[in-house]
């Protein structure tokens, strides 16, 4: 019995690692796809989707890790987003998305309305963290970060991405849950 549990735990860790690698790869590729729509490509927030999905499907530690790694890695590999302040602030924002989504999804009942609520709370928490980090980075660099800049960056310019995430992510999470592909279990 002990061997069976150990084998099951190892299999689960390998599946989570594989999913996390897939989500990290998606975070590298989706901005290229979204960039094909010049008018709104960056407004679709394509790196947010894999971080959120990773949190929902793999759990909070994996969502946090993928979210934190993706922006600086993409900055180093492709030069976008710019490392300072964008990729640094996004790393904390996306880590918060993945962590909050994974934690709340694990703790709360699995219902469609709850999934949407978890998503919205994750998005709010991530945007607040992004604003705090941008404020700190602005202070460290001697520049300013105003309430207007926060609203513009967190909400106004991200509105197409917010709508896309609210529509797409619950559908994907619920479909993957029904297919038995969610690894974020109690």
CB atoms within 10 A of CB 22: 16
| pTM for this predicted structure | 0.93
Domains of the chain, earliest start first: 2-178 (1.10.1760.20)
What's the whole-number average pLDDT of the chain? 93
Separation CA 36–CA 40 (nearest Å): 9
**Residue 161 pLDDT > 70:** yes
> What confidence score (pLDDT) does residue 41 get?
84
**Residue 186 pLDDT > 70:** no
Query: What is the Cα 93 distance to its own chain's centre?
Result: 8
pLDDT digits (tens, 9 = 90+) for 109-160: 888 899 999 999 999 999 999 999 999 999 999 888 988 889 888 888 899 9
Separation CA 108–CA 110 (nearest Å): 6
pLDDT digits (tens, 9 = 90+) for 41-68: 889 999 999 999 999 999 999 999 999 9
Q: Which of 160, 136, 131, 164 is nearest to 147 (CA)?
A: 131
């Amino acid at each position: 019995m002990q061997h069976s549990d150990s084998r099951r735990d190892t299999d689960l860790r390998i599946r989570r690692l594989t999913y996390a690698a897939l989500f990290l790869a998606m975070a590298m590729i989706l901005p290229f796809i979204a960039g094909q729509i010049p008018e709104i490509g960056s407004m679709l927030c394509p790196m947010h989707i894999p971080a959120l999905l990773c949190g929902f499907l793999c759990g909070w530690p994996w969502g946090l890790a993928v979210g934190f790694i993706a922006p600086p890695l993409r900055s180093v590999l492709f030069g976008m987003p710019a490392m300072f302040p964008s990729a640094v602030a996004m790393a904390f924002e996306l880590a918060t998305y993945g962590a909050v989504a994974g934690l709340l999804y694990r703790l709360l009942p699995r219902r469609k309305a709850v999934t949407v609520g978890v998503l919205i709370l994750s998005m709010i928490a991530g945007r607040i963290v992004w604003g705090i980090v941008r404020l700190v980075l602005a202070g460290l660099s001697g520049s300013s970060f105003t309430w207007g800049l926060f609203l513009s960056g967190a909400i106004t310019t991200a509105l197409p991405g917010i709508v896309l995430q609210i529509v797409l992510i619950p559908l994907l999470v619920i479909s993957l849950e029904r297919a038995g592909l969610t690894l974020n279990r109690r």
